[in-house]
Amino acid sequence: MSFIAKDWDIFVTKKGGKHSTKYDLVAFNPTTEEAYDDVIDESMLSGVDSAGNEYKMLEVSCETFTMIRDKLLSKYSLICNFIEWVIDYKEEPEVKKTENLVPASLVKKGINGELSYKELHEIAGVNLEKGDYYNYDAFMKGILRFLRGEISKDYYRSWLILVIWALSANKLKPYSKKWKIYESLSNDFDGHSFNDLEEEKEKECNDMIATLKYQNHLLENVNKANVPPFYNENKTIVYINFAFCNQGNDFYNVCIANEEEKVFKISLVANLVLLPNVNYMFVDEDETSNLTNKYYEYYFDPTINEYDYIRSTPFIE
């Protein structure tokens, strides 16, 4: 068997907010009448099928997705293993060696901010020599240099492009835990590069700092069965989850839990602004739903001051 994309009608819709890389998926093969239901990573939205043809899944609105899924459910039993099926039969295309790859030494200089704008611009968006270019300190330094005005917006965008390509030029086994974190961080940097880096410069950079810190936390614990808490002072954990969008405003669930005092608070807020000195754990919808059960022995404390951890507009019904 093989995965031939043209044989399938595949629809996806984003699951969660700006920090999420997950998509709900429904797929249907009209010939075999197979129907699949799954959650996939952003990295699978496009690729190459078993016949060597490029494919791109069709992204639709949440409402359209629900309508399609309900229609399929009325006729077929959906099987939730689409992603495993595709991976099982996907063959990695052979990569031909080329002499035009940017050498690793130059890539590392670019990531460390040691190149001029002209030198950096020339290698940004160009195929790189394979290697592990993850460098938390250099990534954080690059963001902070732009935030402090030490480099121009043009230099920063070229630096971001290099970082995005560098993270994708790894030698990791596809779909391994570490590979998924690299892909997720690459997508985060990609989204950041397209955001408003002028009017919203401070907000966007602080968002990227928070994301980088959390992804680094995941990498440091990549071999553990469960990700340990990403603590702040006094063993306080701050969970962030995108809830919904309404009239142009993004709403987030924010859970603050103090494991020393055994108290927690969950709030729905709008216009969320993250702070660079706070550690955040970005969780999905299912993890958010489980937080109440996780802290069922804790006291719900409405007096916890959210302003110590975020800036926002409280949600008032």
**Domains in the chain: boundaries:** 5-89, 104-220, 233-314
Question: What's the chain look like in SS3?
Answer: CCCCHHHCEEEEEEECCCCCCEEEEEEEECCCCEEEEEEEEHHHCEEECCCCCEEECEECCHHHHHHHHHHHHCCCCCECCHHHHHHHHCCCCCCCCCCCCECHHHHHHHHCCCCCHHHHHHHCCCCECCCCCCCHHHHHHHHHHHHCCCCCHHHHHHHHHHHHHHHHCCCCCCCCHHHHHHHHHHHHHHHHHHCCCCCCHHHHHHHHHHHHHHHHHHHHCCCCCCCCCCCCHHHEEEEEEEEEEECCEEEEEEEEEECCCCEEEEEEEEEEEECCCCCCEECCHHHHHHHHHHCCCCEECCCCCHHHCEEEEECCC
Distance CA 252, CA 85 (A): 34
> Could you tell me the pLDDT band of residue 174, with boundaries at 50, 70 and 90?
confident
Name the more confident of 84 and 214.
214
Sort strands 9-15 and 310-314 into parallel, antiparallel or unpaired. Answer: unpaired
Query: d(Cα 112, Cα 108) in Å, to the nearest integer?
Result: 6
pLDDT grade for 315, boundaries at 50, 70 and 90: low
pLDDT at 91: 42
In this prediction, residues 172-176 reach a mean pLDDT of: 86
pLDDT at 63: 77
Q: Distance between CA atoms of 281 and 229, rounded to whole angstroms?
A: 8
Q: Which residue has the higher pLDDT, 211 or 87?
A: 211
Residue 263 has pLDDT above 90, yes or no: yes
In this predicted structure, the answer to whether residue 75 has a pLDDT above a threshold of 90 is no
Q: CB of 136 within 8 A of CB of 167?
A: no
The dihedrals phi and psi of 193, each to the nearest 5 degrees, come to -65, -25
Using pLDDT thresholds of 50, 70 and 90, give the confidence band for residue 37. Answer: confident
Q: Residue 55: CA atoms inside 13 Å, Cβ hemisphere, count?
A: 22
15 pLDDT band (50/70/90 cuts)? confident
Kindly report, residue by residue over 191-218, the tens digit of the pLDDT.
999 888 999 999 999 999 999 999 999 9
Measured from the Cβ of residue 131, the count of other Cβ atoms closer than 10 Å reads 15
Beta-bridge partner residues of 245:
250
Instruction: Say what the pLDDT of residue 82 is.
Output: 64
From CA 281, how far away is CA 300, in angstroms rounded? 20
Is the pLDDT score of 285 beyond 80?
Answer: yes
* 56: confidence class by pLDDT, cuts 50, 70, 90: confident
State the Cα torsion 293-296-299-301 to the nearest 10°.
10
For residue 31, the model assigns a pLDDT of: 81
Q: What rounded mean pLDDT belongs to the chain?
A: 86
Quick one: what percent of the chain has pLDDT higher than 90? 52
Lowest mean pLDDT across 29-38, 138-147, 223-232, 295-304:
29-38
